[in-house]
Structure 1
Amino acid sequence: MTPASGDRANPRWHTAAMSTPEPLAYSAAWAEAWNAHDIEAVLAHFHDDVVFTSPTAARVVPSSGGVVLGKQALREYWTEGLRLVPDLHFTVERVFAGVGVLVITYRNQGGGLVDEVLVFADGLVVEGHGTYLVSEGR
């Protein structure tokens, strides 16, 4: 149910609970933390019970099926990811803001175009989704 349909009892739809940080400052700090390979700085913006999905997670942690549950599991996934990709580097291309949502479009070290979709509640990321550009013929 969406807020328009009247589900005001669900705190997730409460506008105060959906506050997002300033988009450009957040995305700059996000890229800086990733490029420094400072996982703790990235995780500082995530809720303990975060849900994160990514096709890369499915490859790095096959047992996850691409769904990482909780901050500690996210820490383990990203630590392994950095071990596997020691030259990881992100360049922010665009930033989109919605109600309780930021989307950071970036290029990775291989030139791949990626969108990181981040859903916020009370200023912390409660859901994150790594999404990758689909090329024709895939």
Structure 2
Amino acid sequence: MQRQHYAASDLAALGREWIAAWNSHDLERILALYAEDAEMTSDRIQALGLAASGTLRGKDKLRMYWSKAFQLLPNLHFDLIDTYVSPDSVVVFYQNERGAQICEYLRLDANGKIRQGSANHLAH
């Protein structure tokens, strides 16, 4: 399977849109950035007891997870620090409303939708 390659400027723009979508608190706007079969990995998935593996697959499961996140964090807000790109992925480096700095790895599919995401938090 040949991977799609994207321009760095397009990937950086996706990173900015990803931040804007989260800050809008519009779950459907966020989900529109993702492929139907997207998977997301985060230690927060484990902490919420949603999957022992820390990975959820498919938009329905992502919708459930992020809906719960918005209920638990009504003041959720991300401030973009920077974006880092490769030919088919972007890492969005940001700070959340509690001051934590997070790197979100987002790999795209051939249609320009996020097919794999991973929230990476600082190890303590």
d(CA) in 2 for partners of 1:83, 1:63: 15
Residue 19 of structure 1: CA displacement?
A: 3.8
Between 1:77-86 and 1:31-40, the stretch displaced more is 31-40
Partner of 1:124: 113
Q: Does 1:59 find its partner at 2:47?
A: yes
Query: More strand per residue: 1 or 2?
Result: 2
Contact persistence 2:5–2:87 (CA under 8 A): yes
- Asked which structure has the greater CA Rg, the reply is 1
Match of 1:42 among 24, 30, 36: 30
Map 1:83-122; keep pairs closer than 5 Å.
83-122=71-110
Distance (Å, rounded) in 1 between the aligned partners of 2:77 and 2:26:
12
- What's the CA shift string for 1:58-85, capped at 9, x where partnerless? 122x141211111110011000000000
Distance 1:126 1:105, change over 3 A: same
TM-score (norm 1): 0.81
Whether the 8 Å contact between 1:45 and 1:125 is mirrored in structure 2 is yes
Taking the aligned partners of 1:73 and 1:57, their CA distance within structure 2 comes to 11
Deviation at 1:54, TM superposition (A): 0.3
Q: Which amino acid aligns with 1:126?
A: R
What amino acid maps onto 2:70 in structure 1? L
For the Cα contact (< 8 Å) 2:11–2:89, is it kept in 1? no
Q: For structure 2, which runs of at least 5 residues remain unmatched after alignment?
A: none
TM-score (norm 2): 0.90
